[in-house]
Structure 1
């Protein structure tokens, strides 16, 4: 299966934790920042990504318990300039507000709008 079709199948079969986090990210809880879900990035498909902020958020179940594959993946993604945040499913399900606050704090500040003087009006 090619990467795009695989990403689409992951979007259709999200875990409960991924579904909850996606609802929150999509509800513009991140000050209008646009996240994408189940996106190909190089040879990997990441759970959530904000390309402008170069931020990746991964939702991990027990199968990710400090795996060597995840370490290689994170090393590659960081070498491409991404910050990678990983949360266990139980954190997302039970501490959603804390996870969202952590993600928000990891985003760079939005640029300030230009004043009237800076707009040339």
Structure 2
């Protein structure tokens, strides 16, 4: 059994650390620019999860993984959170290739829309809770 990271609504959440993720140092310059851009939905989401305020889970903002920069990353869960805004509207093929690559590394992707973060934040946070419980949680009745 893996180590317990936290509990959400009484359900133990198990760590799923993914080791040895590829890193492209050439993206560091882009990373700084992305952070400075201050995309509203990312800033709003960050205020909900920074400094372990969301169930004592540590989130990284703008993390380089391979040749990509993901919006948010939870290292202890191997969880990528992507906020899809208007820039994703015409890039479905690129997003699919990117997601397949990240999943091939053993990462789990949780996608939310820019609109929902700006207009339905409480729903987004509840959906994230439910997703984490579904992917990483065990209830007492599921233990064998």
- TM-score scaled by length of structure 2: 0.70
Q: Which runs of 5+ in 1 are unaligned?
A: 111-121
Q: Is the 8 A contact 2:63 2:73 kept in 1?
A: yes
**1:17-70, Cα deviation, whole Å (9 max, x unpaired):** 000000001153421100000110111100000011011111111221261000
Number of residue equivalences:
110
Q: Which runs of 5+ in 2 are unaligned?
A: 1-24, 139-144
Q: Displacement of 1:103 after TM fit?
A: 1.6
Among candidates 40, 62, 71, match of residue 16 of structure 1: 40
User: Aligned-pair RMSD on alpha carbons?
Assistant: 1.9
Residue 87 of structure 1 corresponds to 112
Larger Rg: 1
Q: Structure with the greater relative contact order (CA < 8 A, sep ≥ 6): 1 or 2?
A: 2
Residue 96 of structure 2 corresponds to 71
Residue 53 of structure 1 corresponds to 77
